[in-house]
């Protein structure tokens, strides 16, 4: 299932503006509502529901996992933006300020801190997580993944019965475009094997 949340451009500019900057929480609310709906309808449940997103979508799935960890069995976050207070300092990050807002501007820190994945990690039991990065990513630099996973493991990793919290780093690769077929296939195989294992689901 693909969730069309406010904040994207697929339904025009008003749809996008409904969930940018100080309104970004609307994106997460829409995604959480979709997860709650498929659960209430009996399509799946919290032992089988896994979520996946990449880049800004990776930020989305890490943010909603922090907000509602009990909803999901597994989260796959691919090259995510996780440090919403410092993203503008690296490579092309400043170009995203129209969407996210920027901590350099007065007042933005308050709303960025409300959802920044790095800064909203909880000392709770998390769903199984795989966070992926590429060591030569010059769009979303891999430090976003490194810091997020390190903080997650430090904050929640010692909880008894904690689910697996994994980091996968692709070597000699960038943000995703142009990834050789062999590497793309291996990455997808690793993701699906991880999801099958943690949800006890056969892929055959």
What lies within 8 Å, CB to CB, of 144 at 6+ separation is 79, 80, 81, 82, 83, 87, 118, 133
Strands (E), the chain: 50-54, 74-78, 128-134, 165-170
Query: pTM of the entire structure?
Result: 0.94
Q: Which pLDDT band holds residue 151 (cuts at 50, 70, 90)?
A: very high
* pLDDT at position 134: 93
Q: Is the pLDDT of residue 177 over 80?
A: no
* pLDDT at position 9: 85
The domains located in the chain, with CATH, are 13-199 (3.40.50.1820)
What are 97-141's pLDDT values in tens digits?
Answer: 999 999 999 899 999 999 999 999 999 999 999 999 999 999 999
User: What average pLDDT does the chain have?
Assistant: 94
* pLDDT at position 204: 58
Question: What average pLDDT does range 56-72 have in this prediction?
Answer: 98
Q: What residues are labeled active site? A: 55, 137, 175
Question: What average pLDDT does range 52-63 have in this prediction?
Answer: 97
In DSSP terms, 116 is beta-bridged to: none
Q: What's the CA gap between 128 and 138, in Å, rounded?
A: 27
């Amino acid at each position: 299932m693909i969730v069309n949340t406010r904040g994207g451009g697929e339904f025009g500019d008003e749809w996008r503006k409904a969930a940018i900057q100080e309104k970004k929480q609307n994106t997460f609310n829409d995604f959480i509502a979709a997860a709650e709906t498929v659960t209430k309808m009996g399509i799946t449940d919290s032992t089988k529901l896994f979520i996946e997103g990449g880049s800004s979508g990776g930020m989305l799935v890490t943010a909603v996992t922090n907000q509602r960890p009990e909803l999901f069995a597994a989260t796959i976050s691919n090259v995510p933006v996780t440090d919403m207070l410092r993203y503008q300092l690296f490579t092309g990050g400043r170009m995203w300020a129209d969407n996210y807002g920027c901590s350099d501007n007065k007042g933005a820190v308050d709303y960025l801190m409300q959802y920044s994945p790095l800064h909203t990690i909880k000392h709770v039991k998390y769903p199984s997580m795989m966070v992926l990065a590429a060591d030569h990513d010059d769009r979303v630099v891999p430090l976003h993944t490194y810091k997020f996973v390190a903080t997650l493991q430090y904050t929640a990793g010692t909880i008894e019965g904690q689910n697996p919290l994994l980091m996968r780093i692709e070597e000699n690769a960038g943000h995703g475009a142009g990834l050789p077929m062999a590497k793309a296939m291996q990455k997808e195989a690793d993701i699906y094997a991880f999801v099958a294992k943690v949800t006890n689901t056969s892929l055959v």
